[in-house]
Structure 1
Amino acid sequence: MLFVKQRNGLISQQKGSHSLTQLPIFKKLPNINRTIFCNYFESYLSIASTVPSVLCLVANFLLINRVPVHVRVLASLTVMLAIFVVMTVLVKVDTSSWTHGFFAVTIICMAILSGTSIVFNSSVFGMTGSFPMRNSQALISGGAMGGTISAVASLVDLVLASDVTDSALAFFLTADVFLGLCVGLYLLLSRLEYARYYMTPVWPAHVFSGEEETPQDSLRTPLVVPGSSDSATPPLRPILKKTAGLGFCIIYLFFITSIIFPAISTNIESLDKGSGSLWSTKFFVPLTAFLLFNFADLCGRQITAWIQVPGPRSKVLPGLVLLRTGFVPLFVFCNYQPRVYLQTVVFLSDVYPMLFSSLLGLSNGYLSTLALIYGPKIVPRELAEATGVVMSFYMCLGLVLGSACSALLVHLI
């Protein structure tokens, strides 16, 4: 997740000022290769991000009862930090003599980062599934805070920075520092009595059926088993059965969001672009597509700290999720460019994409947080971590499906 935030910061900067060919990796390429790599860079990056994410999610689920969560978290953080240090060094290295190799190294680094970041995120989210619901909510809100900070940083960078290579170096150094802080803070976590209480091992997961099991919210004390261990894989079928409704909500939520953001929303141009003003040419996309969306997403997630309706078994929740389908035509009929087949622009004001981005982010943050924090709470506590990983898989699946459909949709506009 961290590397995605850094990548989005760089992309938002390029959307606002220069072309993608000005990124550090492309500036080191000859003109012909630069065009080829630029045209397919996002596709390569998408594959390098998606495939390892799915594989590592499956592997993480299988390792839940075999490898302790603190080992998975610290190992993934260490690998991410090492890769980011390598990428930080490469920003200032002249690679013009081995451009194809440098491109391959970049994609490999992205693949490793994607896999390790998904292991980290799913492990931490699974771990917080055993904590009270407010802790899961705080974790999810923290992810949205990262997106907001990245969007703000990209705007500041647009105003102050003059060289994209220096900007990339600043973003990567920031990631290095925060990853180092994550390692240190996680090591301190086990020293907190509050954390130790909820991180205490419970009875090994076992297969259950029907409604005879008591959800973990009703458990007042952990079912401690001193010295016990179980290497069996957590039972997947009962988890899927219990979380089917919430799983649909999560998949469809992120499906709609990833169809629109960033493929469509970042290509909506200001109607006053011809004026040449800084607002319409430089700041419109970073502000409307990135900052407003991420800030609204953060607000939506934070609201769930005080309001948690509808409930996990309510039919209103999937109804609200399905209503978000209407965002797709709303964004399509803004001033999306270039247009080949649908020439009509219905919303002839810059206010509309700003409003739609805010509503998209707010609904995404609120509804997705509800669905994600409900999941580990409707199963017995011994299955909470495994359920958290499954909820992460739902989210990843929605993002993958949405990204694939967005690539098709942009060719139909």
Structure 2
Amino acid sequence: MDDAEPVQPSLNSSYIPTAHDNHQVSEDEDTEDQSPAASLLPKQSSVPLAVHYSPEDSYCLVYLIFFLMGIGSLLPWNFFITAKHYWHYKLSNNTHGGSGGEQRSDLSDYFESYLAISSTVPSVLCLILNYLLVNRLSPKVRILSSLFVILLVFVGTTVLVKVDVSGCRVEFFIGTLASVAVVSGASNLLSGSVFGISGHFPMRISQALISGQAMGGTLSAVASIADLALAKDVTDSALAYFLTADFFILLCIVMYLLLPKLPYSRHYMLAATCASPGVMSEGGAAAGTGSTASIPPLRPILKKTWVLGLSVFYVFCISIMVFPAVSSGILSVNKDSSSPWTTTYFVPLTAFLLYNIADFCGRQATAWLQVPGPTSRVLPLLVLCRSVIVPLFMLCNYQPRNHIHTVLFTHDVYPVVFNCLLGLSNGYLGTLPMIYGPKVVPRELAEATGVVMSFFLTLGLAVGSAFSVLIVHCI
């Protein structure tokens, strides 16, 4: 084996380094060869059979670690947006009378809209920075630094839960938005870096990461509802809520440190190193080893992925237009009744839990069904059809209404159905392009393509969040 000539990766190559010792053919390799994205790749008849061997993912540990990293990458943002009752309590005109004595204020009414902007705009800048640093800083440095920044901000947020801010609500509002901006920037640096390295693994690993992101939203929604049910005081509920987030962030740090020690992950990280001896130039030729710290070429990536990137952009643009700024403002039409379902639990269950469960189901479905394929025109067509979701939410019982007074959907079942539809379509149509992207480019560009696809996603969130503010003010 040592005397064999090294295999040179070609365009769209699925090159994997030669296996050694007791490596076996893994099931995910066979699975990936049958995937729609893999069908685009030319068969490498000149590649020795041994290169298709790899260690097994024992106990699915690598899958679970990437699933957990997916949870950690979006969990901070989800914990911020799901704590709706806590923010309204802190930003209300009366924080001395408990949760029952809240009085609405402009700060609390429009908090979700401003939170969406503060979380997405810095994320775009961080993803641009991530692309520039993809060959200059190792993924380990980028991922661990992001996790520690997120942990630091969340510890500060947890401490402020028991601090009385009734005399400085505006300052607390600004500080919270600044914290959200920092956390979102670090989260997107984390997400882009993890998704980038997942591009070197079989498609099931990328799918695990994206499913984990959806699970992060589900866990935050479940934690929020559990805290509302178990804690009598808003601040006690929020304290337990944010401590849960602190624990998960710490767990992500520990599990990521474990990742390089596993034979399965070491094998594919070695594959990335061997397949990328130099960064490709714009013309497609591999640069020398002295160019390994240069910026990855953008043109060949966009040439292969621009349709997929625009699909991701539009999917998340539409989703953030209505979630959470509009969906969390839709109240039960029976809110005046004394039932806890219509007063306390309606918004957490319909706007957050149902949406996140549906989103998770949509993302998980891509593990078994990957239709339409990466080159199909049906995919962008389905993405465009999601535009109808926006007026459907606007015509539900969103409150307060200052301009559009017509409520067309006057039953509580409508927001339930619409949130499920929003989550399912977001999960499925948003995941397919994300997992296709790194598979339709040369392996040496897989990590940079993962960052580019994350950039399209975050840009869609940034643009959609700006429109969400406009929609809230128009209603």
Match of 1:207?
A: 281
Question: Is residue 2:247 matched to residue 1:173?
Answer: no
Label 1:96 to 1:331 Cα distance change in 2 as closer, same or farther (>3 A).
closer
1:167: how far off? 1.8
2:196 to 116, 126, 135: 126
Question: Is residue 2:426 matched to residue 1:364?
Answer: yes
TM-score by length of 2: 0.76
Question: Is residue 2:255 matched to residue 1:255?
Answer: no
Tell me the SS of whatever aligns to 1:76: helix
Match of 2:44?
A: none
1:36: how far off? 6.5
2:92 touches 2:105 (CA, 8 Å); kept in 1? no
1:386: how far off? 0.6
Distance in 2 (alpha carbons) for counterparts of 1:157 and 1:94: 20
Match of 1:240?
A: 302
Distance in 1 (alpha carbons) for counterparts of 2:90 and 2:105: 11
Question: Is residue 2:122 matched to residue 1:48?
Answer: no
Match of 2:405?
A: 343
Distance in 1 (alpha carbons) for counterparts of 2:344 and 2:453: 38
1:246: how far off? 0.4
Match of 1:9?
A: 82
Match of 1:405?
A: 467
Label 1:112 to 1:330 Cα distance change in 2 as closer, same or farther (>3 A).
closer
Question: Is residue 2:242 matched to residue 1:186?
Answer: no
2:121 touches 2:462 (CA, 8 Å); kept in 1? no
Label 1:51 to 1:190 Cα distance change in 2 as closer, same or farther (>3 A).
same
Distance in 1 (alpha carbons) for counterparts of 2:399 and 2:342: 14
Match of 1:57?
A: 127
Tell me the SS of whatever aligns to 1:346: coil
Deviations 1:219-258 (A, max 9, x none): xxxx9x9x98711100112212211100111111011111
Unpaired runs of 5+ residues, structure 1, are 29-33, 214-222
Label 1:82 to 1:367 Cα distance change in 2 as closer, same or farther (>3 A).
same
Larger Rg: 2
Tell me the SS of whatever aligns to 1:143: helix
Match of 1:21?
A: 89
Distance in 2 (alpha carbons) for counterparts of 1:255 and 1:266: 17
1:137 touches 1:373 (CA, 8 Å); kept in 2? yes
2:113 touches 2:465 (CA, 8 Å); kept in 1? no
Label 1:332 to 1:318 Cα distance change in 2 as closer, same or farther (>3 A).
same
1:259: how far off? 1.1
Tell me the SS of whatever aligns to 1:130: coil
Tell me the SS of whatever aligns to 2:444: helix
Deviations 1:37-84 (A, max 9, x none): 546644654443233212111111000101111111111112222222
Distance in 1 (alpha carbons) for counterparts of 2:393 and 2:173: 33
Label 1:154 to 1:134 Cα distance change in 2 as closer, same or farther (>3 A).
same
Deviations 1:334-373 (A, max 9, x none): 2222334433322232112111111110111011110110
Label 1:361 to 1:165 Cα distance change in 2 as closer, same or farther (>3 A).
same
1:24 touches 1:164 (CA, 8 Å); kept in 2? no
Deviations 1:67-109 (A, max 9, x none): 1111111111122222222332233345678766655544433
Question: Is residue 2:453 matched to residue 1:380?
Answer: no
Question: Is residue 2:364 matched to residue 1:302?
Answer: yes
Residue identity matched to 1:81: L
1:288 touches 1:357 (CA, 8 Å); kept in 2? yes
Match of 2:63?
A: none
Distance in 2 (alpha carbons) for counterparts of 1:412 and 1:45: 18
Q: Which has a greater percent of helix?
A: 1
**Cα root mean square deviation, aligned:** 2.7
Label 1:169 to 1:316 Cα distance change in 2 as closer, same or farther (>3 A).
same
1:26: how far off? 8.3
1:24 touches 1:165 (CA, 8 Å); kept in 2? no
Question: Is residue 2:454 matched to residue 1:392?
Answer: yes
Residue identity matched to 1:88: T
1:203: how far off? 2.5
1:410: how far off? 2.4
Match of 2:388?
A: 326
2:80 touches 2:180 (CA, 8 Å); kept in 1? no
Match of 1:144?
A: 214
1:76 to 133, 146, 149: 146
Aligned length: 391
1:390: how far off? 0.7
Tell me the SS of whatever aligns to 1:411: helix
Label 1:386 to 1:106 Cα distance change in 2 as closer, same or farther (>3 A).
same
Distance in 2 (alpha carbons) for counterparts of 1:314 and 1:37: 45
2:437 touches 2:453 (CA, 8 Å); kept in 1? yes
Mean CA deviation greater in 132-141 or 44-53? 44-53
Distance in 2 (alpha carbons) for counterparts of 1:332 and 1:42: 16
Deviations 1:289-339 (A, max 9, x none): 111110000000011100101000000101111111111222222222233
Label 1:42 to 1:310 Cα distance change in 2 as closer, same or farther (>3 A).
closer
Tell me the SS of whatever aligns to 1:291: helix
1:190 touches 1:196 (CA, 8 Å); kept in 2? yes
Q: Percent of pairs identical after alignment?
A: 57
1:273 to 297, 313, 335: 335
Deviations 1:117-151 (A, max 9, x none): 11111100111011111100010001111111111
Deviations 1:256-281 (A, max 9, x none): 11111112211222222233322112
Residue identity matched to 1:276: S
Match of 1:316?
A: 378
Deviations 1:132-176 (A, max 9, x none): 111000100011111111111111122111112112211221121
